[in-house]
Amino acid sequence: MVFSSVTFLFYYLPLVLMFYYAAPKALKNAVLLVSSFLFYFAGEPKFFALFFVSILLNYLAGRAIEKYRTTPHGKGVFVLSVATNLLLLGVFKYANFFVDGLQTLLQLNMAVVKLALPIGISFYTFQAISYLVDVYRGEVPAQKSFINLALYISLFPQLIAGPIVRYKTIDDALDSRTHTSELFVEGIQRFTVGLGKKILLANQLGETWGLILQAKEPTVMLLWLGAVGFTLQIYFDFSAYSDMAIGLGKMFGFDFNENFRHPFMSKSITEFWRRWHISLGTWFRDYLYIPLGGNRVSKLRWCINIAIVWLLTGLWHGAAWQFVLWGGFFGVLLVLEKAFLGKVLLRLPAFAAHIYMMVTVILSFVLFNSASIYEAIRFISGMFAMNGLPLMDALTVYYYKSYGILFLLGTIGSTDIIQKEVAKLYRFKAFELIKPLALFSLLILSTAYLVDASFNPFLYFRF
């Protein structure tokens, strides 16, 4: 079940809200937990038992880690519990990748059972590990209530695609949280904006990549159109989901951290990754990069730390060599920017630094979305006219005219221009009356597109 679906919008969410607000305070967490379990079961019934066992093991592990934290047994329980989480993630997400690689290396041709990827396992595994680490470090007490710990891991707004929520940021809210009409309305507004971004921008932009792949004789400019289209699509797709998750959280009294801050306005790759998928970047920083020594080590060791973090970041996104290369590509760029390139970028005009960042990101997402490294190389070569493709043709001109306004809206929407202009409107009292009408119109328009559309993917379900 996805947020941008008729089932969720008109059946699941209204019923959950009705039962949640009708329940007494002591039962609200239980109602929300049952709702979250039903949400996961509806999307992945065959892996629900695995999901539940994972929650139970992490609950027991947290209690044991706190009890024995100051003894050698505590460290043993901690290591074993983290290893168990990583093992489950490794088996279901990476077993096929390693088995295929081993068969290729040894030139074997054995029949192997392919394991399906449980929805959301990358997200809920990282949340569970962060909880265990924080308990082991003594930063938070272990959660005594199974319902509360299970709710933290399974909370449906962020269960299947993030943002990755840290336990210590919502542990107080699990025990007691405030519900106000202002917060609820704010949540509806945030959710509606996210829904509009998903349906009206991400879905429409996503169609361009398919058109490019179907083109019998693509041109250089047509390939660039597809690459830019996918780059904008994945931004609006994932940031829209984060918007909707944050909005839903507010409806239930939770305050989730921001996950995107207009990353395409960056002027370096370093800045880009401070603005893109913030919850993932900070997770790797706090639970891997800093424990490895961060940058407070020798230059060689520092480069190794960067390489480990970014190769694993690539693998986190997908079990394929193109994702490993994608992570390594960013790792190299970040090292270069910290070594000398960052200083060069500061001396460049802002537009030049921005172009460097944007072209780099677009090329990276071609690799990210390609079925193989070979396909990515062929696509990127075509973008730079290295394989004899023509620059333009009549079909390319037609596509640019057809999608021009959509791309313009997408470009503007990826910046903070609209946000700043809307902020100015708050000075006028009439805007308080217009705003609800505008949001209601956006909801109606999004729903109309959703009901009529056959193309409604969510990219991060793959991860």
Catalogue the long-range contacts made by 169-173 (C-beta closer than 8 Å, 24 or more residues apart).
Answer: 169/255, 169/256, 169/257, 170/254, 170/255, 170/256, 171/140, 171/143, 173/253, 173/254, 173/255
Distances 161 to 59, 73, 123, 279, 310 between C-alpha atoms, Å:
22, 34, 7, 11, 20
Q: Which two tokens stand for residue 177?
A: 């949280």
Model pLDDT, residue 346: 92
Q: Are 256 and 207 in contact (CB under 8 A)?
A: no
Q: Are 13 and 251 in contact (CB under 8 A)?
A: no
Q: Are 252 and 157 in contact (CB under 8 A)?
A: yes
pLDDT in tens, 387-432: 888 999 988 899 999 999 999 999 999 999 988 888 887 777 777 7
Alpha helix locations (H) across 25-47? Answer: 28-43
Residues lower than pLDDT 50 in the chain? none
Q: Give the residue from 250, 227, 247 showing the smallest Cα distance to 359.
A: 227
Model pLDDT, residue 461: 53
- The percentage of residues in the chain with a pLDDT greater than 90, rounded to a whole number, is 64
Query: At 332, which amino acid appears?
Result: V
Catalytic residues: 317
Count other Cβ atoms within 10 Å, centred on residue 432: 10
Q: Give the residue from 254, 55, 258 showing the smallest Cα distance to 157.
A: 254
Q: Which residues contact 408 (CB under 8 A, 6 or more apart)?
A: none
Q: For the whole model, what pTM was predicted?
A: 0.91
Chain centroid to Cα 252, Å, comes to: 21
Query: What DSSP character marks residue 143?
Result: P
